[in-house]
């Protein structure tokens, strides 16, 4: 019983530490050349994915959720929490499939396939959420024309929400997934022994 309690305390502590690190990393956002300014890349999914690989998919969800809540407390919201819920869903759509696949195939090939599945899921889920939830919400606080103009300044082929999602949102999530996967590949082996202690 004592060993089980000690293990759960260690597990919770690791989740808390990783969530705190992910929150700090999330504060550093990088604009990308092919997407409007309201799409900014942060590398916090690397931390979440490392946690998911080391501690399992449930831990990945918890780290993602804590990170989003802490970021909400630090930065506030302009979407009444809808953007934060969407970020949680999009982040989980990447890290959970990857962590699940790796849980059952704990090899480099398992990590690679898991991350590929995660990138595809995140790209699809992110595109659908933006098209049907986020962009319509933003359109209530910002004129539709301004949103489309922000996209067309980067890519003149962006003329409506559909082309914005196709030419900016989907490539953004694809790029984010690939960069996060590469970062995880570079760091996981070095950090894994610490996380498994």
Residue 148 to residue 84: CA distance in whole angstroms: 22
Residue 48 to residue 94: CA distance in whole angstroms: 10
Cβ atoms within 10 Å, residue 180: 28
Residue corresponding to tokens 């990308």 = 32
pLDDT of 61 reads 96
pLDDT of 102 reads 93
Is 3 a residue whose pLDDT tops 60? no
Please, what is the Cα angle at 140 between 139 and 145, to 5 degrees? 35
Taking only Cα atoms into account, the Rg of the chain, rounded to an integer number of angstroms, comes to: 18
pLDDT of 95 reads 96
- Residues facing 31 on adjacent strands: 40
pLDDT of 7 reads 59
**Is there a contact between 122 and 93 (Cβ–Cβ < 8 Å)?**
yes
3-state secondary structure at position 107: coil
Residue 106 to residue 148: CA distance in whole angstroms: 44
Task: Evaluate whether the domain defined by 2-195 bears CATH number 1.10.3720.10.
Answer: no
**Is there a contact between 53 and 99 (Cβ–Cβ < 8 Å)?**
yes
* Residues 44-94: tens digit of each pLDDT: 999 999 999 999 999 999 999 999 999 999 888 776 777 788 889 999 999
Is 10 a residue whose pLDDT tops 90? no
**Is there a contact between 165 and 127 (Cβ–Cβ < 8 Å)?**
yes
pLDDT of 160 reads 92
- Residues facing 41 on adjacent strands: 30
* Residues 128-183: tens digit of each pLDDT: 999 998 888 888 877 888 888 988 999 999 999 999 999 999 999 999 999 999 99
Instruction: For residues 2-13, give the mean pLDDT.
Output: 70
- Residues facing 19 on adjacent strands: none
Q: Which two tokens stand for residue 52?
A: 């998911």
Eight-class DSSP state of 42: -
pLDDT of 9 reads 84
Q: What stretch of H or E contains 30?
A: strand 30-31
Q: Which two tokens stand for residue 122?
A: 């995140």
pLDDT of 190 reads 81
Counting DSSP H helices and E strands in the chain, the numbers are 9, 2
Is 6 a residue whose pLDDT tops 60? no
């Amino acid at each position: 019983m004592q060993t089980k309690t000690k293990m759960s305390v260690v597990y919770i502590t690791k989740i808390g530490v990783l969530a705190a690190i992910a929150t700090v990393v999330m504060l550093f956002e990088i604009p990308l050349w092919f997407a409007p300014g309201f799409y900014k890349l942060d590398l916090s999914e690397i931390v979440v994915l490392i946690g998911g690989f080391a501690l399992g998919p449930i831990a990945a969800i918890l780290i993602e959720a804590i990170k989003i809540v802490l970021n909400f407390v630090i930065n506030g919201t302009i979407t009444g929490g809808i953007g934060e819920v969407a970020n949680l869903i999009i982040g989980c759509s990447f890290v959970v499939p990857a962590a699940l696949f790796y849980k059952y195939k704990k090899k480099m090939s398992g990590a690679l396939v898991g991350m590929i599945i995660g990138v595809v899921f995140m790209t699809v889920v992110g595109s659908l959420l933006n098209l049907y939830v986020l962009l319509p919400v933003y359109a209530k606080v910002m004129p539709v024309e301004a949103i489309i103009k922000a996209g067309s300044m980067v890519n003149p082929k962006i003329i409506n929400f559909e082309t914005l999602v196709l030419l900016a949102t989907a490539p953004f999530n694809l790029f984010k997934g690939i960069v996060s996967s590469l970062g995880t590949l570079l760091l996981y082996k070095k950090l894994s022994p610490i996380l498994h202690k």
